[in-house]
Amino acid sequence: MTDRPLDIDTGIPSPARIYDLWLGGKDNYEIDRVVSEQILAAVPELPVLARTNREFLGRAVRHMAGEAGIRQFLDIGTGIPTANNTHQVAQSVAPESRVVYVDNDPMVLAHARALLRGSEEGSTAFLDADLREPDKILAAAGEHLAFDRPIGLTLLGVVDFLPDTGEAREIIRRLMAAMAPGSHLAISHGLVGKQLEEGVRHWNESGGSPMTLRTLEEVTGFFDGLELLEPGVVPLPRWRPVPETLYADHEAVYYAGVGRKP
């Protein structure tokens, strides 16, 4: 974890802070609340999306740590800590699990120490880095994770902020190429469609990092070379729901999937 001073520009909205706001968090500024109101006026169900995305994280990590037996996780685009973070889910299944979080948002950095508290048997670490820097991420994560053993990589709601689809595919390919067979990739991503487009327009006009929606075919393409697990790339709450899954019959505008490296 870096010791550099925080540099939070309270005049620029933050995806992590707005997401936290939709989850009921308090770590946000006036600009975040204003932009949130504009987005919710166009897409009022987005707080539901935030909750279903958090639930998908739990189910995907629980599958990786349980059925797949993975004991190492790389969570890029961590966001502000809330309930059921990656290390909490993984270590509830396998206390010895090791988790590395990656984010470049100063507000997330301010809360990083909360993410570093894990089980006594396992470990957690935090890296201040950007998804656009896969080599930097891999080098730093290598100090905490063994890349000759399977790793669970989570990219939830973060690939949307890579505007070039070719660049996004190459970054994902480079990350997965460094990982051992048996590693898993979980992605959630917004799909092109009228439900989200107006909200994304408000976001992109707000001055925050531009967001890009993609087709189902494009999102599915991020799993090329991997074994896409059933039921494929589907609306968030429909990826292997359990009895307690909220909004399982909801037509989510965000889709998700999990793939395994053969």
Return the domain boundaries, the chain: 15-260
Residues 236/248, Cβ–Cβ less than 8 Å: no
Asked whether the CA dihedral 137, 162, 198, 11 is positive or negative, the reply is: positive
Structure tokens at 113: 């120490």
Alpha-carbon span 156 to 159, nearest angstrom: 7
Q: 191: helix, coil or strand? A: strand
- What is the pTM assigned to this prediction? 0.86
Question: Which comes out higher in pLDDT, residue 242 or 83?
Answer: 242
Q: Name residue 166's amino acid.
A: G
- pLDDT tier, 196 (very low <50, low <70, confident <90, very high otherwise): confident
Alpha-carbon span 248 to 37, nearest angstrom: 26
Asked whether the CA dihedral 59, 62, 66, 69 is positive or negative, the reply is: positive
Question: Which comes out higher in pLDDT, residue 214 or 197?
Answer: 214
Q: 219: helix, coil or strand? A: helix
Looking at 5-9, 93-97, 217-221, which range is the least confident one? 5-9
Tell me what pLDDT residue 73 has: 98
170: which residues sit within 8 A by CB, 6+ positions away?
A: none
Residues 36/50, Cβ–Cβ less than 8 Å: no
72: enclosing H helix or E strand = strand 72-76
233: enclosing H helix or E strand = none
pLDDT in tens, 9-49: 556 877 778 877 877 777 777 887 888 788 787 777 777 77
Tell me what pLDDT residue 109 has: 77
CATH architecture for segment(s) 15-260: 3-Layer(aba) Sandwich (3.40)
